Amino acid sequence: MPSVIRRMEVKVKPNVMIRLRGERMVLSCYPMPSPADREFLVLSPGGSSPRLRNGGCCGLLDFVMRSFDWILLVCCVLCCGCKEPVRTYRIAADPEAPAVSAQIPDEKQEKAAVTWQAMPGWTQESAGQFLTAAYTINGLGRLTVSKLAGDGGGLAANVNRWRGQVQLEPLPEDQVQGQAMPVTGSTHEFLLFNLTKKSPATDEEGIFAAVLPLERETWYFKLTGNAVTLQEKGAEAFTSFLSTVRVGGDAAPVAPEPPQPAKPKIHVTSPEGWIAAEPGTMRVASYTVKGAAGETADVSVIPLPGNSGSILENVNRWRGQVQLPPLSKADDPALGSEMEGEAGRWFVTHMVSNEAILDGKKVAISAAILKAGGMTWFFKMTGDAVVVGEHRAAFLEFVRSATLP
Amino acid sequence: MNLRRAANVFSSLRLTVVLLGYAMVLIFIATISQVHMGIHEVVQQFFRSWIAWWDVMPGERRWDLPLPGGALLGCMLIINLLAAHGMRFHKRKGKAGMMLIHLGILIMLLGEVFTGLLGKEAQMTLDEGQISHYSIYPRDVELALIEPMADGMQTVHAIPQSRLKNGAEFSFPGLTLRVDRYLPNSEILEERIAGKDFEPLRATAGAGLGYAVRSLPRETAMDRRDLSSAFVSIIADGGGEAPRLLLSNVMRGTQAFNVAGKEWNIALRQARLYHPFSIKLLDFSHDRYLGTNVPKNFSSKIRLLNPETGEDREDLIYMNHPLRYQGLTFYQAGFANDDKTTILQVVKNPAWILPYVSCVMVSAGLLWVFSSHLLKAIARRKNSVSS
C-alpha cells in the first residue's frame, strides 16, 4: 500500500513556499507576496483550496498597512477633537474661608536669624556641608558655627556626642546642664559647656561649646583646641566672641530686657575723638578710634572676676592674636612695663604684628591690666597698627585717669 | 510595491538600530535639560511628545532643534517589532525565547503608553490634625464654579486647565463665564506699584480690585508652582452688567457673586482628585542624623476613614513604605511648616504591573535562549566526542 504523504514543503520561488499540512495546502511568502505570487497562487491547481498566509501576522500587518492612513487620520481626529469635559459633581462644602484679598506667595527665604562678628586675626575657612561658618584661631584652636532644625536631636545627645569626641564619659540626660549666658539685646540665652578634663594631658583636646536654642532652630558655637590652652586662655576669647552674637531677622519680637546683674564699675574719661560704642555683655565701655585715613581701632574695657590668668599668659594670648611668638619668661623685657594710675598700679604692654594680617595692614595691640578689688581689669586697644600707634599716648592717659569707685 | 517597500522598511533591523540610537540621544539630552527644566517638563517635552523641541542654548538664545520625541520613538519601535515578527521571524519552537523577549519589550513599551494615558499623580498636603478627602494636582489648575445647595452640599462645575483659553465661554444655568485673559504663570502686584510691563486689564469687582497682572514663563523647578491668573467676566442670561473678576490660585478660598438673586462662588484653584475616603494626619516625624541636618527618616502617622466600607484604621507612611489603597499609592514626598505638615505624593497607575510582567518575560526569554544554545553546544560537544 503506498504511503500517504502528510507533510511536504516545496520552495517554488525564492520567497514563496508551499507547505502541505494534512489536507490543507498553505502558501507562505516571506516577505510580502508580490502580485506575481498572488497570481501564481490563484492559478495553481490542487485538490484543496489554497489559503494565502502572509507569514503569520502579515495578514494583520497587511490590513494595518493598507488602512494605515485611515487609522492615522482617525487617531488624529480623536486626539485633536477630544476636549476635556467640564466636570460637574456634588460634594460637601469646603471648610475654607472666603477670599479676603489677593496675595503674592511669600517667596523670601528665611533670613539668617543669628549674626556674629569674628575677632581680628581669626582666619575664616571653608565651612563645608554641615557648618555655617568656621574660623581658625592662631594658638587657640578652631571655632565652628552650625545650625540644626528644631532641637537638633536634643541637648543631651549633642553634648554627649561632643564629650565622646574629647574622650569624656557620657552624662545622664538630667546631668547635662549648661551655664546660662544671655545673648546681647535678646531674651534668648546661650547654654555654655566646658568639655575639658580637670587636669588634661598636654596633647589632649577639649571643647568649649555654646548652644543657642531658638524657636525653630538651634545654633551651636564650638571652640575646639588643645585642652590646656583652652583652659588657660579660651574662656575670654570664646565669651568675647559670644558677646558679638545677635539674634535678629525673623526671630520673635524682643521683650524688654530682664534686669542684668550689676556690672563692676570704673570711671573713665574718654579722650577727644573717640566714639563711644555699645558695650555689650562683657564690656563696661567700648570705643571706636579712627585714624586719619579712615582706619579704625577698637578700645574695650573688660572686667573679669578673680585672677584671670598671669600677666605672661595674657600677654602671650594677645601676642597670639597678632601672630607673634609667645614669650617664655615672666621677666622678658618685651612683656611690658608697670605704670602708676589713679586706680592703682597698671601693667601696660604694646605689640605690633610682624606681618600684615588685617586687610593687608599690620595690627597692633596696646593693653593694660589692673588687678584690684578681686577683679582683673583689661583695657585694650586693638586695630590698625598706625591708628593704635597714633592713639597710644591717649590710651595710656585714658588708662591712667580711670578711677575705681 | 510601495506597501511592500514600506513594510520592509518598518520591519528592518536597521530601523531598530536607528530608533534605539535616537532613544539614547534623547535620553542624554533630556538628562542634561533636566538641570534647567525640571523632571516634569522633561518627561512631558521629551518623552511624552511626538516631536521634542530641544532648546540648545537655554537662557541665552532661543534656538530649538527638533528631535523625535519619546512617543514617536516608542510607537515606531512597537510597529517595528510587530512588523519584524510578522515578516521575518518564524514561529518555531526554537524561537519561543526570542518571541518571549520581544513580547516582554512590547509590554514594557505599552506599559509606558498606558501610564501616560491613564496614570495620575497628585499631592495631598495635610497639617497635623487635618483631614482631607481630596488630593490636588500641583501643576494643573481648574476654574471651579460652585453652586451652594440648601442641604449643605455644593454643586461644583470644574473647568479643566486645557479649556482655559482667552475668549473661551462656558454656559451654565443662568449665567455664562467668559475667560477674558488666562495667564498660566503670572505675577500679581498692587496696581500702584506695578510697572509698565503689567497688563492693562483690571478686575471690576471682587478681591482682585486694584491689582495688576503680568505674564511669566512657566515654572519648571520641581519645588515651585505656577501662579496662574485669569480675568473672568460673569454674564447673566438676562444681560446687564458683567462684572470681571481676577482669579488666581494664589488667592485663598473663593470669591462670591450674585446672579439674579442666586449666590455663586468661583475660584481658580489647583485641580482636585476626590477620593471616596478620608485621610487624617495624626503625627508627622522628621528624624535627622545627630549633629546634622541629614534626614534619617520621614514618617506620617495617618488615620484612614472610609464610610463606604466602614474602615477606620491607622497606618504609618514612611520612606519606601507607601500606603496602597484603592488603586492609589501614597508616598511620603515632603514636609513643610516646621515639620508639622506632611506632603504625600498620590500616584494612580493602573499599568504599574506591566513593567514587572515585562521584566519576568524578558528574563524568561533570555533564559530560554541561552539555555537552548547551551544545550545545543553540549550536544555538539558530545557528538564530536563520540564521533
State the amino acid at position B136 in one-letter form.
Answer: I
Contacts made by residues B238-244, CB under 8 angstroms, sequence distance 24+:
B242/B178, B243/B204, B243/B205, B243/B206, B244/B180, B244/B201, B244/B202, B244/B203, B244/B204, B244/B205
Are B59 and B172 members of one domain? no
Residue B25 has pLDDT above 90, yes or no: yes
pLDDT-based confidence at residue B167 (cuts at 50, 70, 90): very high
Q: Where are the alpha helices (H) located in A11-167, listed in sequence order?
A: 35-43, 58-66, 68-81, 155-165
pLDDT of residue A255: 34
In contact, A243 and A212? CB cutoff 8 Å: no
Contacts of A149 in chain B (CB under 8 A): 286, 288, 293, 338-339
Nearest to B327 by CA among B160, B122, B126, B145: B122
ipTM: 0.74
Residue A364, C-alpha cell as written in the block: 597692633
In order along its 405 residues, chain A shows pLDDT tens digits of 444 555 666 666 665 566 665 555 555 555 444 555 444 443 333 433 344 444 444 445 455 544 554 555 455 445 544 578 888 988 877 654 444 443 444 443 344 478 888 887 788 887 776 788 889 888 888 999 988 877 888 888 888 888 888 888 888 888 888 888 888 777 788 888 988 887 888 888 899 999 998 877 889 999 999 888 888 888 888 888 888 888 875 333 333 333 445 667 788 888 888 888 777 667 788 888 888 777 888 888 888 777 777 788 888 888 888 888 888 877 777 788 888 888 888 989 999 888 887 777 888 899 999 888 777 888 999 888 888 888 888 899 899 888 887
Q: How does DSSP assign B24-93, residue by residue?
A: HHHHHHHHHHHHHH-HHHHIIIIISSSEEEEEEETTTEEEEEEEE-HHHHHHHHHHHHHHHHHHT----G
CA A224 to chain centre: 17
pTM of the predicted protein model: 0.54
Best mutation site among A38, A57, A218 for testing chain B: the one with the most B CBs within 10 Å? A57
CB contact under 8 A, B158 and A88: yes
Are B375 and B293 members of one domain? no
Q: Which of A84, A88, A148 sits opposite B157 (nearest CB)?
A: A88
Residue B255, C-alpha cell as written in the block: 470669591
Contacts of B227 in chain A (CB under 8 A): 104-105
pLDDT of residue B323: 94
CB contact under 8 A, B86 and A34: no
How far, CA to CA in Å, does B333 sit from each of A176, B122, B321? 36, 11, 11
State the amino acid at position B96 in one-letter form.
Answer: A
Are B216 and B304 members of one domain? no
Contacts of B286 in chain A (CB under 8 A): 149-150
pLDDT of residue A5: 55
Class of domain A114-247: alpha beta
State the amino acid at position A155 in one-letter form.
Answer: L
Are B147 and B267 members of one domain? yes
Residue B370 has pLDDT above 60, yes or no: yes
How far, CA to CA in Å, does A362 sit from each of A240, A319, A351, B24, B181? 22, 13, 11, 61, 66
A102 touches chain B (CB under 8 A): yes
- The DSSP symbol for A234 reads I
Name residues whose C-beta falls within 8 Å of residue B192's C-beta, 6 or more positions apart in sequence.
B210
Contact residues, A window 216-255, toward B, CB-based 8 Å cutoff: 216
Are B344 and B364 members of one domain? no
Radius of gyration of chain A from Cα atoms? 44
Are B24 and B36 members of one domain? yes
pLDDT of residue B340: 86
How far, CA to CA in Å, does A133 sit from each of A117, A123, A126? 11, 11, 7
Are B224 and B279 members of one domain? no
Where do the domains of chain A lie? Answer: 7-72, 114-247, 275-400
Domain boundary among B273, B302, B324: B273
Are B105 and B218 members of one domain? no
- The DSSP symbol for A22 reads T
State the amino acid at position A212 in one-letter form.
Answer: L
pLDDT of residue A49: 39
B297 touches chain A (CB under 8 A): no
The two domains A114-247 and A275-400 share their CATH topology (first three levels equal):
yes
Are B167 and B189 members of one domain? yes
Are B29 and B108 members of one domain? yes
Domain boundary among B216, B241, B273: B273
Domain boundary among B253, B273, B293: B273
Q: In which residue are the cell numbers 558677646 written?
A: A243
Pairing verdict, β B311-318 and B323-325: unpaired
pLDDT of residue B159: 95
pLDDT in tens, B286-303: 888 887 777 788 899 999
Collapsing DSSP to helix, strand or coil, A333 comes out as helix
How far, CA to CA in Å, does B143 sit from each of A115, A347, B179, B195, B271? 46, 80, 10, 27, 8
Residue B130 has a CB neighbour count (10 Å cut-off) of: 15
pLDDT of residue B269: 93
pLDDT of residue B179: 94
Are B316 and B370 members of one domain? no
CB contact under 8 A, A157 and B253: no
**Domain A275-400: what homologous superfamily?**
Mog1/PsbP, alpha/beta/alpha sandwich (3.40.1000.10)
Q: Nearest-5° angle of CA A167, CA A172, CA A173?
A: 115
Q: Which of A55, A86, A98 sits opposite B86 (nearest CB)?
A: A55
Per-residue pLDDT averaged across B151-177, rounded?
A: 90
Total domains in the fold of chain B: 3
pLDDT of residue A101: 40
Contact residues, B window 85-144, toward A, CB-based 8 Å cutoff: 85-89, 91
Best mutation site among B292, B298, B335, B341 for testing chain A: the one with the most A CBs within 10 Å? B292
Q: Which residue of A lies nearest to B79 if distances are taken between CA atoms? A: A61
Residue B247, C-alpha cell as written in the block: 482669579
Q: Which domain holds residue B331?
A: 124-131+275-348
In contact, B52 and B67? CB cutoff 8 Å: yes
